[in-house]
Amino acid sequence: MDLIEITGGNPLEGKIRISGSKNASLPMMIASLLTEEKVELSNIPNLSDVTTLIELMKSLGAAIEVDQTSDFGGKMTCVTKNILYTEASYDLVRKMRASFWVLAPLIARYGEAKVSLPGGCAIGIRPIDFYLSILKRMGVTLDLKDGYVYASVKSRLRSINFTLDFPSVGVTHFFLMMSSLAEGESVLKNAAKEPEVEALAEMLNKMGAKITGHGTNTITITGVPSLTGTKVNVPPDRIEAGTFAIAVSATGGEISLDSVNSDEIDVLLNVLEQSGVEISRSKKNLKISADRKRNSPVNISTAPYPGFPTDLQAQFMALMAIANGTSVIKETIFENRFMHVQELARFGANIKLKGDTAIIEGIERYNSAPVMATDLRASASLIIAALSAKGKSTIRRIYHLDRGFDKIEKKLRSCGAVIERKED
């Protein structure tokens, strides 16, 4: 298994092009299965989550071609004339929770599906109760046995009005896909407003769906009998952009981020400014400058969009652990998303946990350390700590990192980081 070795202490200086969004690519790729026509997606990031999903989509009968040779994003074409197999196996679904969403095109187009219960990052209980309620209300018969969801429906899906107890991103994607092919008008209340939901809704509309209200908490969808092919560009990854912004805030230096949607990480940029970082923003570019003084502590609480993203919580904690004072971070989305705390402690961080809250006493500087990645975004927090630590650190279990960060070593190396991937 590979590990990453980082010799920390260098400021980051340079320019980074932000890749296409992982969390937009995955639902957009799955939406390609909703039509028998050709779908072309560009700006697909080169990630193991994308590869896993391609494998799963091929196993269902999709003909997929991928070109990941360009530094300016990959291209994928997908034609699914017929869904040939309706089973999404444990082996493919356990690696990534988003795989579970293939249930939507399978049931909407074929009326039958056997999908393994989802896996993904171990960051909480992550139930599927909202998905199951929606399926049942839309007329789908369900049976849960041997770790699989067996679903079938005899006629077209029924349209429904549904209110989410929590604005779940995945469930909103799922609802959009299901109701686009259902009979009649469906309404989703307390829907997620994340930019990835907007990207999916816009893609579905280009395919002939009739969706309004995406980006607000009430989405209305009028079902159509079938969808057409389309050509779409995946929007930039706001979590990747935010991660690099936090990294330079920790190491000092100046980086310019190209191909970003600055507005989407406004809440993070405001917090970084409060902590003493200088940021100049235009719509598609960000320049982040940080001197090598310690940042001021800032308290945050994660929240659904447009609040502080849970996917940047671990990275921000890595920055606050070397801030000049005490900060408090509250995690409100996932109940077990603090696994990075024990690994940050190996670098010398002083963090105490009390339920959903972390109290962080900033230390002067990180020591280098051998650490282990525990989940996708946590692995980025360890990279940030290692980049700012004095000396050589090693990060193991980096397959977590490869799920969601496109060419991260190459991008950091181009900004002066001493980072290498090695065989363990």
User: Rule CB under 6 A: which residues touch ligand UD1?
Assistant: 23, 26, 97-98, 124-131, 166, 168-171, 196, 310-311, 333-334
- Tell me 98's DSSP state: G
Q: Which is nearer to ligand UD1, 196 or 389 (CB)?
A: 196
Least separation, in Å, of the C-beta of 240 and ligand UD1?
12
Q: Which residue is nearest to ligand UD1 (CB)?
A: 170
Q: Which is nearer to ligand UD1, 106 or 314 (CB)?
A: 314
Least separation, in Å, of the C-beta of 28 and ligand UD1?
11
Q: Which is nearer to ligand UD1, 39 or 239 (CB)?
A: 239
Catalytically annotated residue among 121, 149, 191, 207: 121
* Residue 225: C-alpha distances to residues 181, 197, 209, 246 (Å): 6, 22, 9, 46
Q: Which is nearer to ligand UD1, 21 or 368 (CB)?
A: 21
- Note the helical H segments in 252-394: 266-274, 313-320, 340-346, 376-388
- Note the helical H segments in 307-361: 313-320, 340-346
* Residue 4: C-alpha distances to residues 115, 225, 265, 355, 377 (Å): 34, 49, 28, 31, 15
376: which residues sit within 8 A by CB, 6+ positions away?
121, 400, 401, 403, 404
Q: Can you tell me the distance from the alpha carbon of 120 to that of 26, in angstroms, rounded to the nearest whole number?
A: 13
78 is catalytic: no
Least separation, in Å, of the C-beta of 320 and ligand UD1?
19
Q: Which is nearer to ligand UD1, 101 or 347 (CB)?
A: 101
Prior bond of 127 cis (ω within 30°): no
CA proximity to 398, closest of 361, 362, 373:
373
Identify any residues that bridge with 12 across adjacent strands, giving them in sequence order.
Answer: 253
Least separation, in Å, of the C-beta of 155 and ligand UD1?
25
Least separation, in Å, of the C-beta of 339 and ligand UD1?
14
Residues annotated catalytic, as ranges: 121
